[in-house]
Amino acid sequence: MKTELARFNMIEQQIRPWDVLDAHVLELLASVRREDFVPAAHKALAFVDTQVPLLPGQPHGPAMLEPKVEARLLQALQLQRHESVLEIGTGSGFMAALLAHRAQKVTTLECRPELARQARENLARAGLGHVRVVDCSAADGARGLPAEAPFDAIVLSGSVAEVPPALLQQLKPGGRLVAIVGQEPVMRGRLITRTGEAAWAQTDLFDTVAPRLEGFAEPTRFSF
């Protein structure tokens, strides 16, 4: 009962006040067991409004994003049951689990073999073995999966300085990409929609700060 109360409070006190009002998203967050995707050492943080470190000894390394941030990104995508999704930055697999309940096909890239293994185990325990976790340690996550494109939606589960054009090209017409873009101290959750063959529209959703995804270029810093 304490776990269910904590989940209820997470939704009602953190997520709904952050303008997450899509009933389908709220129902999903109430049913998918977030605590099963949190490392054992941080189970107490499963429903807290904070980022949860995923690797021992790396407090500033890869992390689960705050529940409200995950919820806003998911809501912005407006996924349909027939759609295919590419996620970059699997982490513990929680966002992939949410995506799998809304879309037909989910492929998720993780560049850290340890996290890729953990995500596969977490997803299998959740009965979501059909989500494909790709270990991209030998590749470049920023390139996406051009051989399997186009996708209806792309999710970047972490922050980048800017979204690579190569990823935008992997969206179908009408496809959507969500990411956290920018530099500290201010980054923005952003929705980018492909509106034509070579046209995209973007909407900034919220301000936040998130750990960097590996393999994405940083702006050149000039010195004089």
The pLDDT of 58-81, averaged and rounded, is 95
For residue 215, pLDDT beyond 90: no
Residues 36-45 pLDDT 10s? 999 999 999 9
The pLDDT of 166-189, averaged and rounded, is 96
Rounded to 5 degrees, what are φ and ψ at 33? -80, 90
CATH classification number, 2-208, choose in 3.40.1180.10, 2.60.40.10, 3.40.50.150, 3.40.50.300: 3.40.50.150
127 CB-near residues (< 8 Å, 6+ apart): none
For residue 104, pLDDT beyond 50: yes
For residue 138, pLDDT beyond 70: no
CA dist 51 → 47, 48, 60, 81, 220 (Å): 10, 8, 10, 29, 28
What whole-number percentage of the chain has pLDDT above 90? Answer: 88
Is residue 94 very low, low, confident or very high in pLDDT (cuts 50, 70, 90)?
A: very high
Distance in angstroms (rounded) separating the CA atoms of residues 159 and 206 = 13
The pLDDT of 102-131, averaged and rounded, is 95
Is residue 221 very low, low, confident or very high in pLDDT (cuts 50, 70, 90)?
A: low
Is residue 218 very low, low, confident or very high in pLDDT (cuts 50, 70, 90)?
A: confident
Note the pLDDT of residue 64: 97
Distance in angstroms (rounded) separating the CA atoms of residues 6 and 47 = 6
Is residue 224 very low, low, confident or very high in pLDDT (cuts 50, 70, 90)?
A: very low
6: nearest Cα among 41, 35, 36: 35
Give percent helix, percent strand, percent coil of the chain, each to the nearest 5: 35, 30, 35
116 CB-near residues (< 8 Å, 6+ apart): 90, 110, 133, 134, 135, 137
Q: Considering the entire predicted model, what is its pTM?
A: 0.95
Note the pLDDT of residue 19: 97
For residue 69, pLDDT beyond 90: yes
Beta bridge partners of 135: 110
Tell me which of 118 and 129 has the higher pLDDT: 118
Q: Could you state, in order of their start, the residue ranges of all structural domains in the chain?
A: 2-208
Copy the structure tokens of residue 142: 């920023």
